[in-house]
Amino acid sequence: MENKFDRGSALSIFGSDRKEDFMALVFALIIAFAVYAVY
């Protein structure tokens, strides 16, 4: 896929894989905490 954006890459809105990984980790931990607290 051709990248037509001036930020991020063709496959991600983040500048680097590591940044995307950390964001995924943050989201996952938020979900895990919410599930732990609610159920």
Residue pair 7/13 in contact by the 8 Å Cβ criterion:
yes
Instruction: Report how many residues bind other proteins under the rule CB under 8 A.
Output: 29
Decide if residue 13 touches other proteins (CB under 8 A).
Answer: yes
Q: Which DSSP string corresponds to 1-39?
A: -----SSS-SS-SSSSHHHHHHHHHHHHHHHHHHHHHH-
Decide if residue 16 touches other proteins (CB under 8 A).
Answer: no
Decide if residue 33 touches other proteins (CB under 8 A).
Answer: no
Which residues form the interface with other proteins (CB under 8 A)? 1, 4-14, 17-18, 20-25, 27-29, 31-32, 35-36, 38-39
